[in-house]
Chains A and B, each alone.
Chain A
């Protein structure tokens, strides 16, 4: 199967601090990869490099599609635009008439259960609703790859499950490839086919979610069991 995203030996530093130190991974069509790890290990930086928002210091990132979108941690909706206008921004270069655009937007809003909120402003929505609008915006252009930056952080367990269901629906129904940056184990278990654990700028483990739970790798074990003692904690203290 063709790789939609290939990250080869990527390095990135900020002010002399090495954040990514030779990361290599790939994602193929319809596949969902969860990138996990404690806070501050470079997960979001890796996502920003894949999305093209940041450039790597060295290494190669191949994105073999133009249809790529991203769901941001805090939704990143434009406050002065309505829900409909926010999603319409994603369709600015689509060759569709005004009514076709509107139909497309309403279809995507229906998919996330917010078809009656088209005229609302982001400030009038709850955190979960904003997240769902950002989903609708991300899928407006029928992307082949969606990058998720902490899609379930700060949400209650029920809403987290709802968001995870959306990720699965997109992956299964529309064959959208997903790269999900998260540190929530429930999200990993419910959405990912592949897991990669990042620590100190390197991938310290890769495999499937079932093996991830049972792994003897000291980093994975400490992370999964939420232990204070272990290589991650001593690393953080350093």
Chain B
């Protein structure tokens, strides 16, 4: 291929990579449905999610809950409307902050490690060894990680929402001196099953993005240690971009659909 042809191809490579990721997601999903995936690997990966990510998600969510509530309360105290503090915090944390924070933490903590592990396995011929032993890398490596991610990301998202809300409540009680019952009443008034469902659907998409991109990029790695480093960075960056993009798309879709079906929900 000439240098000019290479230059022309380069800007569209991401499309090829995206296509590859979709293919791997589909194959891994089929592997999960048909039960062909490695159960042992699934248990190992699921426990990694819990142990590695739970503390960091807790700490980050708590502090974001504190900072967010502090900011909102400043505005509401100014206009003398502290009674709606719970409502504002609830909408922010349940619908947006919880899923995004959990997703970003999982992308950074688990996605990076996942990509680095599979990339190292690829460059050190471990993936080739699996193929020689007639073990399908999709069943053995990708599907267990995807399933672990699809299950654990929503759980961690619920946990992030809970911890973030606790942080928010602490600020409401200590800083704004709001009655905790009033805070929770306004919190509960706005959060319904649909909000939890939206948060979980975002978490589900985030989980799929992190596992699929990490595994796809990991298995495409070449170029030794430098290649492993590049793959790790690339998978974290792409996963985070995907999380923010899909977060917006889901929120936008929910409001577009909600406007027609249930105007009260949008308000």
User: Is A72 an interface residue when CB atoms closer than 8 A count as contact?
Assistant: yes
Stretch at the interface among B8-16, B128-136, B237-245: B128-136
A89 contacts B135, CB within 8 Å?
yes
B264 to chain A, nearest CB (A): 51
User: Is A51 an interface residue when CB atoms closer than 8 A count as contact?
Assistant: yes
**CB within 8 Å of B: which A70-86 residues:** 70, 72-74, 76-80
A11 to chain B, nearest CB (A): 18
A77 contacts B126, CB within 8 Å?
yes
A232 to chain B, nearest CB (A): 26
User: Is A152 an interface residue when CB atoms closer than 8 A count as contact?
Assistant: no
User: Is A16 an interface residue when CB atoms closer than 8 A count as contact?
Assistant: yes
A68 to chain B, nearest CB (A): 8
Partner of A89, one of B44, B125, B133: B133
Chain B residue total in the interface (Cβ 8 A): 14
Chain A residue total in the interface (Cβ 8 A): 22
B132 contacts A73, CB within 8 Å?
no
User: Is A93 an interface residue when CB atoms closer than 8 A count as contact?
Assistant: yes
A79, B128: Cα distance in complex, Å: 14
User: Is A204 an interface residue when CB atoms closer than 8 A count as contact?
Assistant: no
Partner of A53, one of B121, B124, B126, B128: B128
User: Is B1 an interface residue when CB atoms closer than 8 A count as contact?
Assistant: yes
B129 contacts A80, CB within 8 Å?
no
How would residues 117 to 152 of chain B score, 1 for a CB under 8 Å from any chain A CB and 0 otherwise?
000010011101111111100000000000000000
Query: With A15-B1, A16-B1 in contact, is A76–B133 under 8 Å at CB?
Result: no
Partner of B125, one of A15, A73, A79: A73
**CB within 8 Å of A: which B21-55 residues:** 44
Chain A residues with CB under 8 Å of B1's CB are 15-16
**CB within 8 Å of A: which B92-138 residues:** 121, 124-126, 128-135
What are 8 pairs between A and B in contact, CB < 8 Å?
A53-B128, A53-B132, A69-B133, A72-B128, A76-B125, A78-B129, A79-B126, A89-B133
* Known interface pairs A15-B1, A79-B126; 15 further A-B residue pairs with C-beta atoms within 8 A, sorted by A's residue number: A53-B128, A53-B131, A53-B132, A68-B132, A69-B132, A70-B129, A70-B132, A72-B125, A76-B124, A76-B126, A76-B128, A89-B135, A92-B133, A137-B129, A137-B133
